[in-house]
Amino acid sequence: MEDNGLPSRTSILTAAARAFGSREPDASVRNPDWVADRLISLAELALIAEHPISKALDQDFQKAIYDPDIFGFAWLMLVRTRFIDELMERAVRNGATQLVILGAGFDTRAHRFSELLKDAMVIELDYGATQEYKKRRVEAALGGAPANVVYAPIDFARESLGEVLHRTGFQPGRKTYYICEGLSMYVAEEGMKETLRAIAAGSAPGSALLLEYLNRGALELLRKYPTGMIKNAIDWGEPFVFGVPDGQDREFFLQAGLELGETLKIGSPESVKRYAMCQDGSYYGAHLEKVFEQRREAALKAMDDAGRQQTAEAAVTSGYWLAELSIPDLGKRAPQEDVSR
């Protein structure tokens, strides 16, 4: 990401998928990120030419959704975007006055929720090259960011989150909502642990973190049998490297000082019921059900016995999650530590 001066291509890929999903005619399953469609131009699509979503924005929508690689990724972004939007909106309405977006990429919430966030401080953190690219696109396509947005470059593997936040004017005593979407799997475990500990140590009681993450078993399976955007990410130098130990989610987060709260397993019946039901009562994706089943069967057939066993175990013990982690309110908690020291 940094070495070649290019932005994170996976951040462009996910934004393109949100942009595509925002064109869905059925409002009940439409991705709410209409701003992404303005940010993603032909120049950005050229950077992700290896993935079919790069062609989807120039195709007839009803034709493009029959491509399982396009639809599957757009479906994922639909669930992810709507869940995170809902919990962020709830947090702000319940008193959060700072929004910190970790690995912001082409996140558009500062624009889409400008009225809701008008009295909040919005801090976007990301690798320098990605952030500079995003700022140029925001200026060109949207005329600039809202006045309450602060951009700050960070290398999560090498820099202290507390130190970087301190330079932005972040106030540890204010109730804060953190969003960590599309980041954790790209950061080595120790860097991710340090980030979680910094949030727990440097945030006011009542603050919370929305974290997207994989379990380790799912991560290992994806790395062993990479397909689709996972393979693209590897080819682009953005491999998945971190997963929470299977079955130890709650304990893992508690060790960092965070309490596991509301969760959503992506692809679960609950995620379908909440975010992927069409106006006519059918589930979003029914048109490709047989195609996806054939793909699953072909993938299992191509594996050896160990791979099939690993897949079966991962289906039970692992997952791909969206989770809200809270900062414990310990009542007589000591004054907030400035974690930049």
The confidence score (pLDDT) of residue 3 equals 55
Question: Structure pTM?
Answer: 0.94
The confidence score (pLDDT) of residue 331 equals 58
- The 10 Å Cβ neighbour count of residue 190 is 10
The confidence score (pLDDT) of residue 4 equals 62
The confidence score (pLDDT) of residue 233 equals 96
The confidence score (pLDDT) of residue 337 equals 43
- pLDDT tens by residue, the chain, 341 residues: 445 678 999 999 999 999 999 999 999 999 999 999 999 999 999 999 999 999 999 999 999 999 999 999 999 999 999 999 999 999 999 999 999 999 999 999 999 999 999 999 999 999 999 999 999 999 999 999 999 999 999 999 889 999 999 999 999 999 999 999 999 999 999 999 999 999 999 999 999 999 999 999 999 999 999 999 999 999 999 999 999 999 999 999 999 999 999 999 999 999 999 999 999 999 999 999 999 999 999 999 999 999 999 999 998 889 999 999 998 876 544 444 444 32
The confidence score (pLDDT) of residue 335 equals 43
